[in-house]
A and B are shown apart, each in its own frame.
Chain A
Amino acid sequence: MATTIIFYILAAIILICAFLAVTTKRIMRAATYLLFVLFGTAGLYFLMGFTFLGSVQVMVYAGGVVVLYIFALMLTERQGSNEKSPISLAKKIVALMASLGGAAIILFVILTHKFLDAALTAPNEQLISVKLLGQQILSSGKYGYLLPFEAVSVLLLACIIAGLIIARKR
């Protein structure tokens, strides 16, 4: 019961903030709304019992990516007014139609599919401990994620280097 209510509150926050993020004229506000969306998502993860994931979401996304966005936005602020000319109404309507159509299709597919257990089971009595997660990430046996872990770390290295090179001063 309680979970349902919390779920709905979080869902409302997420949807409202997402909508505001894409329709506001001021970029800073968009970034802020994004922040709230990410917090909401983290809350959903906590609700589902994925505590580690939720914390990673808060740390990396909300704390890192959004800050990065704010920095970038400040660095690339346009001189003068914000909007030169508004986006044409036709474009907005077409995009709206496409999105609504797509949403309708996907929702149709979702709602007509019969899922076996329509309800998520309760979170485990034992939450997945970090020790278990750590052992799983670093194990190379079945259900071990060592290889993706290493690959992601290489990727992160590459991205750091790429970011540095692309954005350095000439």
Chain B
Amino acid sequence: MINIYGFLILSALMLFIGIYGFLTRRNTLAILISIELMLNAADINFAAFNRLLFPSGQEGYFFTLFSVAISAAETAVAIAVMINIYRSLKNNFVDNLDKLKW
């Protein structure tokens, strides 16, 4: 008997906290953490809507399941990239990564 609005507001707030973190942090790994927050917010949204709209269906459930798996995989690759960057630049500032403008 939980209000749907609660879940939606929660996920919205979590999403924008994640966006704030994305825009403000300087360490690339902190940015990745913010991305995790955003993903989790989206997952909560899926699960809540699944429960609201299809009490006997499992589409949202599976979507969330796969989303978790995929975000784990993507995190792994991202961290590998960051480690590579750290090896070249000796630090992890996102301001140093601006060569893609050319």
Q: Which residues of A does B touch, CB under 8 Å?
A: 3-4, 7-8, 11, 14-15, 18-19, 21-23, 27, 30-31, 34, 37-38, 41, 44-45, 47-50, 52-53, 56-57, 60-61, 64-65, 68-69, 72-73, 75-76, 78-79, 83-84, 87, 91-92, 94-96, 98-100, 102-103, 106-107, 110-111, 115, 117-122, 124, 128, 133, 136-137, 143, 145, 148, 152, 155-156, 159-160, 162-164, 166-167
Report chain A residues within 8 Å CB of B51: 48-49, 120-121
- The answer to whether B4 and A87 have CB atoms under 8 Å apart is no
B1-33 contacts to A (CB < 8 Å): 1-10, 12-21, 23-27, 29-30, 32-33
Sample of 11 A–B contacts (CB below 8 Å):
A30-B33, A44-B7, A49-B51, A60-B72, A64-B72, A76-B83, A99-B17, A118-B4, A143-B58, A152-B69, A159-B77
Compute how far the CA of A166 lies from the CA of B79 in the bound complex, rounded to whole angstroms: 10
- Give Cα A107–Cα B7 distance, bound, in whole angstroms: 12
A86 (CB) vs chain B CBs: closest residue: B26
Given the interface pairs A106-B12, A107-B12, A119-B1, the reply to whether A56 lies near B29 with Cβ below 8 Å is no
Complex Cα distance, B29 from A105, in Å, reads 29
Q: In the bound complex, how far is the Cα of B13 from the Cα of A111, in angstroms?
A: 13
Is A95 within 8 A of B20, CB to CB?
A: yes
Q: Which residues of B contact A118 (CB under 8 A)?
A: 3-5
Query: Contacts A14-B10, A95-B20 known; A4 to B2 CB distance under 8 Å?
Result: yes
B92: chain A residues within 8 A (beta carbon):
76, 78
- The 6 lowest CB-CB distance pairs between A and B, nearest first, are A22-B21, A95-B23, A159-B73, A167-B80, A166-B80, A163-B80
Interface pair B65/A56, CB less than 8 Å apart: yes
